[in-house]
Structure formats: C-alpha cells, structure tokens
Amino acid sequence: PVTGRAPASAAPEAAKPPAASAGAIAGTIRIAPGLARDVAPTDVLFIIARKESAGPPLAVRRIEAPKFPLTYRLGAENVVMQGMPFEGQVTLVARLKKDGSPGPPKPGDLEGVYPKNPVTVGAGAADIVLDKKY
C-alpha cells in the first residue's frame, strides 16, 4: 500500500564537516564577508601545504571555479614530488588566483592562512577564511 512517505533511505543526509583520514587534511574554505564581491567564476583556488612556512609546496590542490563555502581534502594524491610522504606537520594556505596560474599572489588575488598552523596531517576541521586581498 502507498503510505505517502518516502522510504527512510531517501531522506537527505545532514551536511557533515569533511572527515580527514590518517594521510589527509580536510576542512572548509570560506570568503571573508567584505571580499565575497571579489570572487569571479573564472578564479582558480589553490590549497597549498608546505613542510616549512617558506619553501616549495609539499602538496597542492587546484580547484577551478570554486563555490564557497567549499569543503576540501588534501592528501597524498596532491603531493607535488612523487615519493614524498604526506605526513607530519605542515603549514596550510589557500589562495584564490585571478589568472589561474600557480605561484606568488598578484594584485586582486585573495589569500587565507590556517590560523593554527602548523597542522598535523590527519586533522579534520582545518578551516581557512580567505581574508587578505593583494
């Protein structure tokens, strides 16, 4: 018989913060309220993890046309030099690039730094707010 109710399996799942696994970092990236108007559909987001606060990136994730808030996961699959382990403590930076190219920020780019850097690989809720405009 028809009951007028959807089966329990059809119920929408509540939004959960991203969970990190042992070899990854996860979190949410948001735009500071005053900078939301500076986001364009052609922008490219880079999530960058470094072993030191300066120096070459250990891992980078590139996301075209990001929608905010954006949940992310950065793991071994994002390591720049194959064979390098994605482990230990890293510093996290998110950079929204106007020209879509990797590298240092240019005028108009937005950036956010994880406020509790360094973060240990395996952490969840590594949330970043893009709050600096170059």
- The CB density around residue 43, as the number of other CB atoms within 10 Å, is 19
- Work out the burial of residue 133: count CB atoms within 10 Å of its CB; fewer than 13 is exposed, 13-18 middle, 19 or more buried: middle
CA atoms of 98 and 38, how far apart (whole Å): 10
The tokens of 126 are what? Answer: 């590594």
Position 6 scores a pLDDT of 43
For residue 52, the model assigns a pLDDT of 73
Residue 90's pLDDT is 95
- The candidate with the shortest Cα–Cα distance to 60, out of 28, 106, 101, is 101
Q: Is 49 exposed, middle or buried (0-12, 13-18, 19+ CB in 10 A)?
A: buried
**Parallel, antiparallel, or unpaired: how do β-strands 128-130 and 24-31 relate?**
parallel
Q: pLDDT at position 23, please?
A: 86
The pLDDT assigned to 53 comes to: 65
**Residue pLDDT tens, the chain, 134 long:** 544 444 444 433 334 444 455 689 999 999 999 999 999 999 999 999 999 767 789 999 999 999 999 999 999 999 998 888 999 999 999 999 999 999 899 999 999 999 999 999 998 999 999 999 99
Residue-level pLDDT at 75: 95
Within 10 A of 93 (CB to CB), how many other CB atoms are there? 19
Spatial CA neighbour of 59 closest among 72, 44, 46, 45:
46
Q: Is the preceding omega at residue 118 within 30 degrees of 0, hence cis? A: yes
pTM of the entire predicted model: 0.82
